[in-house]
C-alpha cells in the first residue's frame, strides 16, 4: 500500500511539474512588438522630393536614414478623390477611403444639415488651453471608423498610450483616433499648444511649461534665412517670383525673412516657416519624455504630422527656394528626432513610417513661364452662370445649392417640390461644364460606374463618393489647372503630381530594401497592423505590403 502511495505521489509531483513548466512557457512567450511606433505624415510632400533634394540631405538626416537603412515603397498612390489633408491623414491611419470613413474633405457641404461642416468640428466639446472661439472645439467624431492607433489600444486592453501632435488640429486628431490618450495642436491666435475636453479638462504641466517658454518668439527673433548660401539652391527658381504668395507679408521680398515684427503680435505666421517643424518635433519629443512613451513592454504610438511644408508649399510652390530650404531643414529635424529616439527608447526598439497626406501641383505661373500646360479655373463663376441658365430653363431659382471640392450640389427640395426633371437638370449642368476649356471630365456621381472614364479615375471617384455627404456632379480639371487666386498652388486632383506620395519604413524589424510595384495609401494601416499582430482598422480596404512585413 505504501509502495502504491509512493508511486501515486511521484506521478502527481511529475504531472504538477510538467504543468508548471508548460504554464511558465506559455506566460513567458510574448508577441514581438516594438516599444514605440512613430507615424509621421508630412503635410504636402511629393515623392520626387526624396530624389530631387537627395544630394543635399544630411548623412545623419532623416531621409537618408530611411533610404539607406529602411524600406521604401517607390510607387505609392492615393486611391481616391479629393487628394487633400483631412482625407489623407484619415486614410493613412484607417486604411479606408472617404466613401467609407466619412472624412470627404477638410470642409464639406452637408446636404442633410444644409451647411458646411469642418472635418474635426464637435460642438459637444470645448477648448482647453487658451483657444479663442471654436478653435479648440474639435474631436474625431466625424470619422466613422477606427484607426490603427485605436486597434493597438484595444489589442492591449487600453494599456498602450497613443498621442497625436501637429500644428493643424486635423493632423493630430484624425490619426490618433477615437481612443487616443491625447492630441495636441497649435493655436495661432494665442501661440499655445492646445487640446479639447474630448481628451482632458486641463493641459498637462509639461504642455503648460512648453507654452510658457514662448518658443515662437525665440524663432521669430532668429528670422528665416537659407540654411546654405542662396546661390547653391540650383534645384529652385530665382527667389521672389511674382506668382509666389506672400504669407509673411507683402513687404518681404524673399530671403532673408525678418520675423521680428511678429513677436508678441502674430503667432500664426510661424506655420509658414520651417520653425513650425522644429516646434512640432520639440512637442513630440516632450510627449515621449513626459508621457513615458516606449518606456515599458507595452507598445505605444506617437502620431506626428509636420504641417508647415503645406503652408510653405501652397504659398511658394514646389520649385521655390523656400520649399527646398524647408525640406533640407526638415531632413535635419527628422535626423534629430531619430537620434533622440535612439537615446530615449533605444536603437532598434522603435519603428517609424513616413508618408504624406497628399502631394502638390506646380504653380500655374511657373508652368506658363516654362511653356508647360496649366492655369486657373473659375468655379465660383461657373456656379453663378449655371444658376442663371437653370432658372431660365426650368423656371426655378436656387437650383445650385452649393459648389465646393469640385462637386455640384443640386437643391433636391426645390426639384422635388416643383416636380422638375432632375435628369434634365443634370444634363444641362454637365453640358455647360463640359464646354469650359479648363474642364477635363464631368459626370453625375450616381452614374460613375457608367461614365466613360479610365479605370484609375473611376476607382478614385468611387472611393471618394460618400452617398450621404457628396455632391451630385463631379468635375475633373485639365492637368495642372486649379481653382484659386493668382499666386501659389494647391492640390486635390487625381493626377500623379497630387497623388504620388512617399512611403518609408525604418527601425524595428524593418529590412533594408524597396519595391517599385504599385502600392496605395490604404495599404499603410493594414501593414502596420500586421507588423504589430493586431486587427486592421474597422473600415480598412487596403492590403498588407508583404515586402515590408517579410
Mean pLDDT by runs of 10 across the 550 residues of the chain is 42 41 38 97 98 97 98 98 98 98 98 96 94 79 98 98 98 98 96 97 97 96 97 96 96 95 95 98 98 97 98 98 98 98 98 98 97 92 93 96 96 97 97 96 96 96 97 97 94 98 98 98 98 98 96
Q: Is the same domain home to 251 and 134?
A: yes
Q: Which residues contact 21 (CB under 8 A, 6 or more apart)?
A: none
**CA distance from start to end of the chain:** 60
Instruction: Identify whether 123 is part of a domain.
Output: yes
Q: Is the same domain home to 357 and 235?
A: yes
Cell numbers given for 173: 486628431
What domain range includes position 197? 36-369+494-549
Whether 519 is catalytic is no
Backbone region of residue 187 per phi and psi (left: phi > 0; alpha: psi in -120 to 50; beta: other values): beta
Q: Which residues of 266-302 are buried (b: 16+ CB within 10 A; e: fewer)?
A: bbbbbbbbbbbbbbbbbbbbbbbeebebbeeeebbbb
DSSP bridge partners of 483: 377
* 57/500 Cα distance (integer angstroms): 21
CATH number of the structural domain spanning residue 352: 3.40.720.10
- Read off the pTM: 0.93
Instruction: Identify whether 429 is part of a domain.
Output: yes
Looking at residue 133, its pLDDT comes to 61
Instruction: Identify whether 15 is part of a domain.
Output: no
Looking at residue 16, its pLDDT comes to 42
The model's pLDDT over 136-190, given as tens digits with 9 standing for 90+, comes to: 899 999 999 999 999 999 999 999 999 999 999 999 999 999 999 999 999 999 9
Q: What's the gap between Cα 215 and its chain centre?
A: 25
* 259/275 Cα distance (integer angstroms): 11
Q: Is the same domain home to 235 and 355?
A: yes
Main-chain phi, psi angles of 136, to 5 degrees = -105, 0
Q: Which residues contact 177 (CB under 8 A, 6 or more apart)?
A: 93, 140, 143, 146, 147, 148, 149, 150, 153, 162
Main-chain phi, psi angles of 57, to 5 degrees = -70, 145
Instruction: Identify whether 198 is part of a domain.
Output: yes
Backbone region of residue 441 per phi and psi (left: phi > 0; alpha: psi in -120 to 50; beta: other values): beta
**How many structural domains compose the chain?**
2
Determine which one of 72, 83, 85, 146 is catalytic: 85
The model's pLDDT over 245-304, given as tens digits with 9 standing for 90+, comes to: 999 999 998 999 999 999 999 999 999 999 999 999 999 999 999 999 999 999 999 999
Looking at residue 18, its pLDDT comes to 41
Instruction: Identify whether 331 is part of a domain.
Output: yes
Question: What sign has the CA pseudo-torsion 391, 393, 396, 401?
Answer: negative
Q: Is the same domain home to 400 and 286?
A: no
Q: Using an 8 Å Cβ cutoff, are 507 and 499 in contact?
A: no
* 183/190 Cα distance (integer angstroms): 18
Amino acid at each position: 500500500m505504501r509502495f502504491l502511495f509512493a508511486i501515486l505521489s511521484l506521478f502527481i509531483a511529475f504531472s504538477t511539474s510538467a504543468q508548471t513548466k508548460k504554464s511558465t512557457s506559455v506566460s513567458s512567450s510574448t508577441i514581438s512588438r516594438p516599444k514605440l511606433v512613430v507615424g509621421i505624415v508630412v503635410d504636402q510632400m511629393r515623392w520626387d522630393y526624396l530624389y530631387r533634394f537627395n544630394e543635399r540631405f544630411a548623412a545623419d538626416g532623416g531621409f537618408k536614414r530611411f533610404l539607406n537603412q529602411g524600406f521604401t515603397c517607390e510607387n505609392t498612390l492615393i486611391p481616391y478623390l479629393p487628394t487633400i489633408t483631412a482625407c489623407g491623414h484619415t486614410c493613412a491611419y484607417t486604411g479606408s477611403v472617404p466613401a467609407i470613413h466619412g472624412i470627404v474633405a477638410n470642409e464639406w457641404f452637408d446636404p442633410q444639415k444644409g451647411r458646411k461642416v469642418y472635418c474635426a468640428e464637435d460642438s459637444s466639446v470645448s477648448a482647453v488651453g487658451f483657444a479663442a472661439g471654436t478653435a479648440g472645439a474639435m474631436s474625431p467624431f466625424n470619422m466613422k471608423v477606427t484607426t490603427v492607433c485605436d486597434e493597438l489600444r484595444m489589442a492591449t486592453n487600453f494599456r498602450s498610450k497613443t498621442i497625436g501632435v501637429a500644428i493643424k488640429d486635423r493632423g493630430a486628431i484624425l490619426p490618433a483616433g477615437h481612443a487616443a490618450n491625447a492630441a495636441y495642436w497649435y493655436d495661432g491666435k494665442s501661440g499655445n499648444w492646445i487640446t479639447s475636453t474630448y481628451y482632458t479638462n486641463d493641459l498637462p504641466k509639461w504642455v503648460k511649461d512648453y507654452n510658457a517658454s514662448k518658443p515662437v518668439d525665440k524663432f521669430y527673433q532668429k528670422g528665416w534665412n537659407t540654411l546654405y548660401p542662396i546661390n547653391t539652391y540650383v534645384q529652385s527658381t530665382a527667389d521672389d517670383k511674382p506668382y509666389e504668395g506672400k504669407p509673411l507679408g507683402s513687404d518681404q521680398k524673399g530671403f532673408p525673412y525678418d520675423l521680428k515684427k511678429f513677436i508678441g503680435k502674430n503667432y500664426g505666421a510661424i506655420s509658414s516657416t520651417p520653425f513650425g517643424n522644429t516646434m512640432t518635433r520639440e512637442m513630440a519629443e516632450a510627449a515621449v519624455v513626459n508621457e513615458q512613451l516606449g518606456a515599458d513592454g507595452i507598445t505605444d504610438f506617437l502620431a506626428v504630422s509636420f504641417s508647415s511644408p503645406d503652408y510653405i508649399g501652397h504659398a511658394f510652390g514646389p520649385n521655390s527656394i523656400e520649399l527646398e530650404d524647408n525640406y533640407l531643414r526638415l531632413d535635419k529635424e527628422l535626423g534629430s528626432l531619430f537620434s533622440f529616439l535612439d537615446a530615449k527608447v533605444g536603437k532598434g526598439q522603435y519603428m517609424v513610417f513616413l508618408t504624406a497626406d497628399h502631394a502638390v501641383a506646380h504653380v500655374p505661373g511657373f508652368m506658363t513661364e516654362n511653356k508647360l500646360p496649366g492655369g486657373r479655373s473659375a468655379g465660383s463663376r461657373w456656379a453663378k452662370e449655371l444658376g442663371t441658365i437653370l432658372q431660365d430653363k426650368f423656371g426655378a431659382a436656387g437650383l445650385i445649392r452649393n459648389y465646393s471640392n469640385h462637386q455640384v450640389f443640386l437643391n433636391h427640395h426645390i426639384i422635388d417640390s416643383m416636380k422638375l426633371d432632375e435628369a434634365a437638370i443634370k444634363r444641362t449642368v454637365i453640358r455647360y461644364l463640359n464646354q469650359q476649356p479648363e474642364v477635363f471630365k464631368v459626370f453625375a456621381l450616381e452614374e460613375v460606374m457608367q461614365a466613360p472614364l479610365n479605370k484609375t479615375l473611376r476607382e478614385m471617384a468611387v472611393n471618394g463618393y460618400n452617398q450621404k455627404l457628396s455632391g451630385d456632379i463631379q468635375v475633373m480639371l485639365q492637368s495642372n489647372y486649379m481653382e484659386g487666386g493668382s499666386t501659389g498652388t494647391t492640390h486635390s486632383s487625381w493626377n500623379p503630381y497630387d497623388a504620388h506620395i512617399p512611403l518609408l519604413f525604418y527601425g524595428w524589424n524593418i529590412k533594408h530594401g524597396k519595391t517599385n510595384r504599385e502600392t496605395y495609401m490604404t495599404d499603410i494601416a493594414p501593414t502596420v497592423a500586421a507588423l504589430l499582430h493586431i486587427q486592421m482598422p474597422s473600415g480598412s480596404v487596403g492590403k498588407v505590403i508583404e515586402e515590408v512585413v517579410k
